[in-house]
Structures are given as structure tokens and as C-alpha cells.
Structure 1
Amino acid sequence: MERDRKELPWRILIFLFLMCVSAVMTDHSVVPAPQNVSVVSINMKHVMTWSPVIVPNWNVTYSLQVEGEFEKIHWNQSWFNISECWSISINWCDVTHEIAANVLYNLRVRVDWGTHRSNWTALDQPFNRITTFLTPPELSLQTDGMHIIVKLEDLGPNFDYELFYWKKDEDTLVYNKTVNEASTPVHLETVQAKMDYCVKAQTYVKAINRRSDFSSPVCINVPGDISLNLWVVFFGVLISIMVLPLVAWKISQKLQYSFFPEEILPECLIVTKSHHKLIYSNNNAGECFEAAVQVVSSKKLVHFYTKGFVQCYESSQHAHN
């Protein structure tokens, strides 16, 4: 009994100590608040960032709230939870959809550690989307006959694109064209064949009435109308198909006469159209035989032809010798 009385004060001290520890653990100062809170805004994309909070042997989450200018003035500083940025494990969150007008917005973040919560940390200065940083769009060029095709970087539905193009080394005359979207390639029509052209672009955001800087110029050579070249090739092939056979035939005739020269038929073998008479003539070597005109039978006619041919052939061979 006496022993219990001696231990009672110690038990009371331990109880009070645990109560104090519990009170400290439930206080916001146990969980450190986020630091270096800021908004990074590029091309109308707004991302809130902060330095990560490290708690040994424990995973923390973060929760964000937003307050617009209207809510601050008319609703007595009403903060709203951002559902996409509630209880997240990363130290950044996209708040683009929460920033819908060209007014001041305040944002704040806290750390959640189990049942414990840190203090809220807000931006040092409210954010306005008109301060977003606009970058020049990236572009690439290619040609299609007499046209230049421009492919633009798609930066989103808030952007218009202003294109400027000119002949290389002749920047006194500059053409321009404005397009509302970059999802489809842009055709530049006013160009000349076999000329170098340069193109540059900038973006325009109507919601904030601001333009980006110009992109670096990109140049390309326009070769000409490919369809015209195809027609020239087509007619060239067609003409070749028609002319080459004739040329080949003429060459074959020349080669034939070169290797197989034509022999002149002896005059004594010249036969009239009528098969009933045979006329032989040889002015140089004399008559092979006297010309005779008479009606003969077919059998005699064959014999007559044969005899006359042999005599005339012998006579011609003698003349050559």
C-alpha cells in the first residue's frame, strides 16, 4: 500500500507528460508548412509549385485552395477547395482551369500528415494570367509543287498564329497570313518557283490581348511545279516510243545493205508483163540471142525461159571477167 503511494506521483507525472505530448502533436506546428510557393505560367498554362516537405518515415500529401477577386470582395474571403489538387502526393498542381478571367487570384497550400495539418501558405502576391509568358511557336516547312506547307506547334485553343514570309534576301515585301488553329498544316500560295523563301511566326492570345516574340526564320527552296515536270516526262516517253521503232528500222535497212549489197539484175532477164513473150537486151555484150515473139505452149515456154537464163548468165559472167 505504501509502495503504491510512492508510485502515484510518478504516474501522475507520466500522464501529464503524455497529455502534453498529445497536445503538441495535434498542434499545426508539428507539421511544417510548405515554403517557396509560386505560380509558373507559360502559354496560358498555370502551375502552382512549392518546396517538398519531408517528414521522416511518413508520406505527406498536399491540398490546395483558391480565392478569386470576386469571392474576396463580395463573399468575405471565401476559399474554395481545388478538387484536382486535393490530397496529392506531388509538390505541384495544374490550376489552369481555376484561372478563368483577367483578375487577381490567390492560392494557398497546406501539408496533410495523417490526422495532422500544417498551416496554410499562400502566394506572396496574387496571380493574374495576363502575366503569362508567351513563347514563339516552333514551325517546320516543306514544299508541294508551287506551295509552301507550314506545320505549327499546337499551343491550345486560346492561340491564333500570325505567319510572315518573304523572298530570301528581299525582305522589303513581306506577306502575312493568320490562322486560328495549328492542328492542320498551313498552305502559303503566293510564292514563285525556283526561289528561296523564309517564314517566321508569332502567337496572339485574344483573351489577354498579347503577342509572343517572333520565332527564328526558317528558309526553304521552292523547286517548281512537279505536275508540269511529270507531263514533260510523259510526252518525252510517248515520243520516244513512237520514234525509236522508226529509227531502229532505218538502221536495220542500212546494216542490211552494208552486209548484203544489192545486185543489179541483168538487162536480158527483164521480163514484160505478158508471159507469152520474152525480151532480152544487152547493149554492151551484144544480143544473147535474137528476140523472138511467138505464141508457145507452157511446156515450151518453161524450156525457153531456162535456156535463155543460162545463156544470159554465162554472158554476164563473161562480161564481168
Structure 2
Amino acid sequence: MVLEEISTSLIMWFSCALIPCLLIDAVAVLPAPQNLSVQSTNMKHVLTWSPVVVPEEIIHYSVEYQGEYESLYMSHIWIPSSWCSPTAGPECDITDDITATVPYNLRVRAVLGSQTSAWSTLKQPFNQNSTILTPPGMEVTQDGFHLVIKLEDLGPQFEYFVAYWRKESGAEEHVKMVMNGGVPVHLETMEPGSAYCVKAQTFVKAIGRHSAFSQAECVKVQDAQTWHFLTHHLVECGASPTCVTWGETLPLALALFAFVGFTLILVVVPLSVWKMGRLLRHACCPVVVLPDTLKITSSPQKLISCRREEVEVCAMAGLSSKELLGVFI
């Protein structure tokens, strides 16, 4: 009886001692990401999940995938995603990882320093043939009598079917395949005065699916009389030297303004430089005018020679006796 009580006490003591440790370990375990899903539109695939929140910490994530080949022939190995091992946000673009139209398993786990959570796996394998295909954007224009379309470029996997028809009852609908988007494509030569409508859809050969058609867009070409007037007017203007169209007037005006501006530059710039030079020369070396008394009106050499002749004449002239007597008196 005593031994039984002692054993019971020891069991209770060990239980009380271990339970807090287990609770602490449970709290320390990093939670796994939840709510995995794939959003796929026009062959762009993005895996998303609910973020793991740890106060004052930045959580990173690792993403791995497993295709049919890895599952059947490579012992179920998992391959890290090309762009998301690791990644900081709760999403991963897996478009480059999905290379075949087969089921893919996807999984993600949280990483915090040396801690990692358990893996969370997508509930249902993802297959790219489930992608949502949307109608392409398009721009319908006319170039003279030519019907032209430019389609949105959705990538190299996409081809386009373009349907066009004359807008009238009983008109036949024509379909043309366009291999690439982003470039103008000529559809048909239109008849004057008629309206034409166009719509388009995408087709992805890899999955054998196409999108719905886009909303039809219509354009109307000018009628024959208006077109004849315009072409006749242009021909006359081309033959007559006195006829100037609006398209010719603008270039002529621009050329005239450019010529006038260039001429002004050629005239104004040299004059400005010359005037500035004169101002600087006057400021640094001002002109000083001598008084009239200091001006030399004759040659200095001539003045010296004249003074010399006067001295010699005075030295050679003699005085008479009467002059000498007059001097003393």
C-alpha cells in the first residue's frame, strides 16, 4: 500500500514537471502556413497562402514542387522553386516551374532563422490546363482602305483567332489566325462607305483550350465621294505650285521660324561679343587726353636742330665798339 502511494506520487511529480516543458516546446514551434491556393490566369500561375505572424520578426518561406515525373520516377523528390526559396512575401510565381500539362504537388513552410515549420501541402494537385483564359486586348484602326488590328501580347504560348466582317445583314464572317501579339496585322482592304467589325480570342496549344471572344469593335471608312475629293485635292495640290495644304503649311512655318532664329543668332552674338570687348577694354585701359600745353606740334628732332642753330649764331656774332660803350653806359 505504501509502495503504491509512493509510485503514484512519483508519477504525479514527473507529470507536473514535464507538462510545462511540453507546453514551452509547443509554443516555440513555428506554425505552418495555411490556406494554400493557386491563382492562374492566361498561363501565369501564382501560389498564395496565409502569412505566418510572429511579433517583431520577419518570416521567410520556402516553396517546393513535385511533378508527375518526380513522383513516379525519382522517388518522390521535391524540387525548390526557381524564384521562391526563400521568399519574404506570402506568394510565389511558379509559372517557370510548371513546364508540363501534368498534376503538380506544391508545398510551403515558414522559416525564422534556424527554425522551420512543418510543410503545408496544396490539397489538390495543380494542373496548368485549369488556367483561366481571358479575351485579348486589341486595337482596331484603318490605314486608308486597310483594316488593321494590333493584339495584346500575352506570351509565346498564345495564338489568336481574329474574326472580322462587314457590318451589314447577311455579311460573311472571315477568320484569320495571328501567331504573335504586339504587332499590327492587315486584315482586309475595305470598301468605301462601309463599316467593318472585328473580334478576337486566344488559343493555347499546350493545353488545347481557347478563350471567349472579345467584344466586337467597328470602324467605318469614308465614302467614295469624300475619298475622291480628298485624293483629287491632293493630286491638284501636288501638280499646282501655288496650292499649299495644311500638312505642308506647318513644316514651312517651322522652317521659316528656324531660319529667322538662326539669322538673329548670327547677327546678335557677334555684336554682343564686340560690344563686350569694347566695354572691357575701356574699363581696363581708359583713354587719357593730354593738355594742349604738353602736346608736341613739331618733330622733336627738328626742335633740337633749331635750338642748336640759334646758339651757334649767338656765339659767332661780334659786338662793335659803340655797342660795347652803350653796354657799359
Residue 131 of structure 2 aligns to which amino acid in structure 1? Answer: T
Alignment-derived partner of residue 195 in structure 1: 194
Pairing of 1:156-235 with structure 2 (within 5 A): 156-170=155-169, 172-223=171-222, 230-235=230-235
- Sort the Cα spacing of 1:238 and 1:20 in 2 relative to 1 into closer, same or farther, 3 A: closer
Residue 232 of structure 1 aligns to which amino acid in structure 2? Answer: H
Alignment-derived partner of residue 282 in structure 1: none
Q: Percent identity?
A: 43
Give the superposition deviation at 1:88. Answer: 0.9
Give the superposition deviation at 1:194. Answer: 1.5
Q: How many residues align?
A: 225
Tell whether 2:55 aligns with 1:48. no
Q: Distance in 1 between matches of 2:204 and 2:235?
A: 52
8 Å Cα contact 1:145/1:223 also seen in 2: no
8 Å Cα contact 1:43/1:155 also seen in 2: yes
8 Å Cα contact 2:134/2:212 also seen in 1: yes
Alignment-derived partner of residue 139 in structure 2: 140
Partner of 1:233, secondary structure, is: helix
Q: Distance in 1 between matches of 2:123 and 2:103?
A: 12
- Sort the Cα spacing of 1:148 and 1:238 in 2 relative to 1 into closer, same or farther, 3 A: closer
Give the superposition deviation at 1:38. Answer: 0.9
Give the superposition deviation at 1:223. Answer: 2.2
CA offsets 1:19-45 (integer angstroms, 9 cap, x no match): 9489717x8x72111111011111111
8 Å Cα contact 1:148/1:222 also seen in 2: no
- Sort the Cα spacing of 1:223 and 1:107 in 2 relative to 1 into closer, same or farther, 3 A: same
Unaligned runs of 5+ in 1: 1-12, 243-321
Give the superposition deviation at 1:74. Answer: 1.6
The range that moved more, 42-51 or 227-236, is 227-236
Alignment-derived partner of residue 104 in structure 1: 103
Pairing of 1:83-122 with structure 2 (within 5 A): 83-122=82-121
8 Å Cα contact 1:68/1:105 also seen in 2: yes
Alignment-derived partner of residue 24 in structure 1: 25
Q: Distance in 1 between matches of 2:136 and 2:184?
A: 14
Alignment-derived partner of residue 281 in structure 1: none
Q: Distance in 2 between matches of 1:97 and 1:22?
A: 42
Residue 130 of structure 1 aligns to which amino acid in structure 2? Answer: N
Residue 34 of structure 2 aligns to which amino acid in structure 1? Answer: Q
Give the superposition deviation at 1:193. Answer: 1.7
- Sort the Cα spacing of 1:31 and 1:145 in 2 relative to 1 into closer, same or farther, 3 A: same
Pairing of 1:226-305 with structure 2 (within 5 A): 230-237=230-237
Q: Distance in 2 between matches of 1:238 and 1:149?
A: 28
8 Å Cα contact 1:145/1:227 also seen in 2: no
Question: How much is the aligned-residue C-alpha RMSD, in angstroms?
Answer: 2.7
8 Å Cα contact 1:158/1:205 also seen in 2: yes
Alignment-derived partner of residue 266 in structure 1: none
- Sort the Cα spacing of 1:97 and 1:224 in 2 relative to 1 into closer, same or farther, 3 A: farther
Alignment-derived partner of residue 125 in structure 2: 126
8 Å Cα contact 2:194/2:221 also seen in 1: yes
TM-score normalized by the length of structure 1: 0.64
8 Å Cα contact 2:165/2:174 also seen in 1: yes
Alignment-derived partner of residue 150 in structure 2: 151
Partner of 2:182, secondary structure, is: coil
Q: Which has the larger helix fraction?
A: 2
Give the superposition deviation at 1:70. Answer: 1.2
The range that moved more, 68-77 or 121-130, is 68-77
- Sort the Cα spacing of 1:45 and 1:228 in 2 relative to 1 into closer, same or farther, 3 A: same
Partner of 2:155, secondary structure, is: coil
Partner of 1:198, secondary structure, is: strand
- Sort the Cα spacing of 1:219 and 1:235 in 2 relative to 1 into closer, same or farther, 3 A: closer
Give the superposition deviation at 1:97. Answer: 1.0
